[in-house]
Amino acid sequence: MKKTPLYSLHQKHGAKFVQFAGYEMPIQYETGIVKEHITTRNNSGIFDVSHMGQLFLKGGDELTNDLQKIFPIDLEKISINQSKYSFLMKENGGIYDDLIITKLKDGYMIILNAACKDSDLNILKKKIGEKYQIDLSDNLSLIAIQGPKAKDVLESIVPGVIKLKFMNGNQFKYKELDIYITRSGYTGEDGFEISINNKIVESFVEKLIKKGSTMIGLGARDTLRLEAGLCLYGHDLDENTSPIEANLKWAISKSKINGKFPGSEFIKKQYNEGVSKLRVGIKPETKVIARESTKIFDEKDNEIGKVTSGTFGPSVNGPIAMGYISNDFSKTNTKIFLEVRGKRVPASICEMPFYKKNYVRGGEDNVRN
């Protein structure tokens, strides 16, 4: 089982560990998931996401041209230090992985899911051959700091980060080493992701804690992302689900609809003609939690879909879920029934996110919501 460089710091903070994608990761610390969730929403929280893949591709315009044939995002339209949410597409229109791609001065940085990173690397190597230097970094950690106070905490350690716009990054210094920070995250909060050398990551995180931030485990990361309506790969997205079915049409560049990338003919067809199933938000009417794989029925007892993520949302103070449903039932407020422990629980289709901040974020619109 692999460990991240912050393992002993997690232990020091009373972490309970779980195995996740081959890593021993903290699911929660002493205070528990609900308190960690609320702390992130009201203050700020630190997440060790070093298990995720940090892939670096070196190259110039030719690399951009080659990547245009791989990703459904128009990479010619993004500027240096700008990040976009995208997918590594399968030929059938399904998704090998969802990712964040950032244009750098000398190439691209791609943040990949931990469970997919090795196979993603192989897929990319096959597609663009040995033409470019392509590496999954193992000397870099990845830390997220999220929440309304994240900007002040981080600014006090790394001056200038406050000027970053949403989904934009830049190079900064810590202890004379380069660190790369983007204003992004996966909690529905303002925040940052910090790519930082393994040698200095512990000292860096200890400093964030000293400035008032708190370590948050994967348990709260899951409740935060679900409240924000964001997908978890392997649950809400997979190799047999297209971005259009996942209701992530916005992440496909309009200029790429008629372009060529793996699965593009399926995407074009679904984009123009619609889909038979769609990812939707689901709000149970009682306090019952509908977990992953819960079957969804209509009033006439026909099975019409399946829950892919479901939990208790601490900020919503009730159960929330998302899942795939036959398109005829995907309209907001449609009544549905969830089968939990043999009983039918009434629920309705609702808009996502389940939880939204009532203040405006700095910089660009939040393109992921």
Partner 1 sequence: MSEIKFSKEHEWITVDGDVATIGITKHATELLGDIVFAELPEKGSSVNKDATAGVVESTKAASDVYTPISGEVVDTNQSIVDDPSKINSDPEGDGWFFKLKIKDQAEMNTLMNRDEYDKFAKENAS
Residues near partner 1 (CB under 8 A) are 16, 27-28, 32-35, 219, 222-223, 287-289, 291, 311-312, 314, 319, 341
Q: Tell me whether residue 291 or residue 306 sits nearer to partner 1 (CB atom).
A: 291
**Distance between CA atoms of 63 and 147, rounded to whole angstroms?**
35
CB of 124 to partner 1, least distance (A): 34
Nearer to partner 1, 74 or 285 (CB): 285
Please list, residue by residue across 145-159, b when 16 or more beta carbons sit within 10 angstroms of its beta carbon and e when fewer do. Answer: bbbbbbbebbeebbe
Between 313 and 353, name the residue whose CB sits nearer to partner 1: 313
Q: How far is the CB of 303 from partner 1 (least distance, A)?
A: 21
**What is the secondary structure of 277-333 as a DSSP string?**
EEEEEEEESSS----TT-EEE-TTS-EEEEEEEEEEETTTTEEEEEEEEEGGG-STT
Nearer to partner 1, 209 or 288 (CB): 288
- Residue 226 CA to residue 203 CA, distance in Å, equals 31
Q: Name every residue whose Cβ is closer than 8 Å to that of residue 102 and which is 6 or more positions away in sequence.
A: 81, 82, 83, 84, 108, 109, 110, 111, 169, 182
Q: How far is the CB of 119 from partner 1 (least distance, A)?
A: 27
Contact 318, 249 (CB under 8 A): no
Can you tell me the distance from the alpha carbon of 39 to that of 120, in angstroms, rounded to the nearest whole number?
Answer: 34
Closest approach, Cβ 38 to partner 1, in A, equals: 11
Residue written as tokens 């879909």?
Answer: 305
CA atoms in the 13 A half-sphere facing the CB of 94: 10
Between 6 and 290, name the residue whose CB sits nearer to partner 1.
290
Q: Measured in whole angstroms, how far is the alpha carbon of residue 19 from the centre of its chain? A: 19
Q: Which is nearer to partner 1, 16 or 175 (CB)?
A: 16
- Least distance to partner 1 from the beta carbon of 295, Å? 16
Least distance in angstroms from the C-beta of 308 to partner 1? 16
Query: Kind of pairing, strands 214-215 and 45-48?
Result: parallel
| Half-sphere exposure in the Cβ direction for 275 (13 Å, CA) | 24
Closest separation in Å from C-beta 314 to partner 1: 8
- Closest to partner 1 by CB, 222 vs 236, is 222
Cβ neighbours for 218, distance < 8 A, ≥ 6 positions apart? 18, 20, 25, 26, 27, 28
Q: Based on CB atoms, which residue is closest to partner 1, 32 or 346?
A: 32
Q: How far is the CB of 312 from partner 1 (least distance, A)?
A: 4
Report the candidate in 263, 216, 368, 241 with the shortest Cα–Cα distance to residue 308.
241
